Amino acid sequence: MKNYNIQDALFYTKEHEWVKIDGSHATVGVSDYAQDLLTDVVFVELPNVGKEVKQFGQACVVESVKSVSDVYSPVSGKVTEINKDLESAPELINNDPYGKGWIYKLEGVNESEKSNLMDATKYKEFIAGLAH
């Protein structure tokens, strides 16, 4: 089992997205575990600004050479900003999944949806259980 970087202040989904919730605003990306599984990301099909996403609904798509993965939104909300840098440098998702590799930001977030997500401790246990 590799040693994955799982950040404490974030919440996680079973599909390996992370979310940083800040009142009614949130930032979404994919976890270190996800980027490792994806291998080299080559393209991100970003959502449109203004798109309404539902919790666990499909938000956008991440491609590697040999795979395509849907990104499911950890929380509901309206997309306010997308990470344009990913268009020319999709590798940011591999190199810095929690920093420069963020994917989109939301507004109108309901904090109570947190209860459907895992915190860092639970997520660590979850991926440990996936090791085989």
Partner 1 sequence: MQTIFEKSVTGRSACQIQKPMSEETELKEFRLTLDLPELSELDIVRHYTALSKRAFGVDDGFYPLGSCTMKYNPKINELACNLEGFTQSHPLDETENMQGTLEVIYSTQEYLKEVTGFTGLTLEPTAGAHGELTALMMIKAYHLDRNDTKRKKILIPDSAHGTNPASAAMCGFECIEIPSDKDGYVDLAKLSELVNDETAGLMLTIPNTVGLFDKNILEISKILHEKGALLYMDGANLNAILGIVKPAEMGVDLMHINLHKTFSTPHGGGGPGGGFVGCVKDLEAYLPAQRVVKDGDNFKLDSNFPKSIGRVRAFFSNFGVIVRAYTYMLSLGKEGTQRIGRYATLNANYIRVKLSQYYNLPHKVNCMHEVVFNDEVQAQYGVSTMDIAKRLLDFKYHPPTIYFPLIVHGALMIEPTETESKQTMDEFIDVMIQIAHEAKASPQMLHDAPHTTVVKRVDAVKAARNPVIVCNMCCS
Partner 2 sequence: MPYIPHTQKETEEMLKAIGVSKIEDLFDAVPSNLLQKGYYNLPEGLNEQKTKEKISKIAKKNKNAEMNFLGGGMYNHYIPAHVPYLAGRGEFYTAYTPYQPEISQGILQSIFEYQTMITRLTSMDATNASMYDGSSATAEVCLMTASITGRKKVLVGRNVNPQYREVMNTYCKAKDLEIKEIPFDMGSGEIDQEKLRQLMDENTAGVFVQSPNFFGVVEDMKEISSKVKAKGAISVQIVTEALSLGLLVPPGENGVDIVVGEGQSFGLDVSAGGPGFGFLATKEQYMRKLPGRIVGQSEDSDGKKAYVLTLQAREQHIRREKATSNICSNQALCAVRGLIYLATLGKKLKDLAMLNHKNALYFQKLLNGKKVSRLFSSSFFNEFVVTVDNASEILKKLRKNSIAGGINLEKFYPEFKDKILICVTEMIDKQAMEKYLGSL
Answer yes or no whether residue 43 interacts with partner 2 by CB under 8 A: yes
Residue with smaller CB distance to partner 2, 7 or 69 = 69
Residue 68 interface partner, choices partner 1, partner 2, none, CB cut-off 5-8 Å depending on type: partner 2
Rounded Cα distance, 19 and 43, in Å: 21
Q: Specify which residues 19 forms β-bridges with.
A: 11, 28
Smallest CA-to-CA distance from 62 within 32, 86, 26 is with 86
Rounded Cα distance, 31 and 38, in Å: 11
Rounded Cα distance, 75 and 25, in Å: 10
Answer yes or no whether residue 63 interacts with partner 2 by CB under 8 A: yes
Residue with smaller CB distance to partner 2, 2 or 66 = 66
Residue with smaller CB distance to partner 1, 45 or 107 = 45
Query: CB 60 → partner 1: shortest distance, Å?
Result: 17
Q: Nearest 5°: phi and psi at 53?
A: -120, 150
Span near partner 2 by CB under 8 A; candidates 19-27, 65-73, 98-106, 109-117: 65-73
Residue with smaller CB distance to partner 2, 65 or 128 = 65
